[in-house]
Amino acid sequence: MHRARTVALTSDEIVEVRAAQRTFEGAYVRTALSQFSFALVVLKIFTSEFYSTGALFAIYGTGILVIGLFRRQQGNRQFFSEVGEDGVRRHKFRTSGNAVIVLTALSVAAYATLIGLTVRLQK
C-alpha cells in the first residue's frame, strides 16, 4: 500500500509488477519446497551419517524462502519516482540484483558445505 501512495503506476507497470510476482515468488516457493522434500527424503531414508546433509538442505530451503520474502519486499518498491538535479520528476525502475546476489552467496555457501560434508563422509 505504501508504494501506491508514493508513485502512480501506469497500467503497464502494474502488469509488470504482477507478472514478476507470479513468476518469481512461485519459483522461490517451489524451489524451497523441493529442498525441504529432498531434506525429508535424506533424513528418512539414509542412515544417521547423512543427517547433516539433510539438515543442510532444510536450512538451504529456509534461506530460499527468506530470500523470496526479501524479493517480494523489494519488488513492491520496484517502481519509484525521484526528482533529478534539474527539478524534473522521473519514474525509475529498480532491478532485483540484491536478491540475486544474496541467493548466489547462499547457494555457493550451501554447495561448499555439501562438498565438505561429502569429503568428511569418505574418511
pTM of model > 0.75:
no
Asked if pLDDT for residue 31 goes beyond 80, the answer is: yes
| Domain hosting residue 51, numbered range | 2-121
pLDDT score for 44: 92
Q: What is the pLDDT of residues 58-87, one digit of tens each?
A: 999 999 999 988 887 776 666 666 777 787
Split into its structural domains, the chain has a count of 1
Distances 59 to 18, 47, 62, 106, 110 between C-alpha atoms, Å: 29, 19, 5, 10, 9
Asked if pLDDT for residue 37 goes beyond 80, the answer is: yes
Mean pLDDT along residues 13-22: 73
Asked if pLDDT for residue 4 goes beyond 60, the answer is: no
C-alpha cell at 26: 512461485
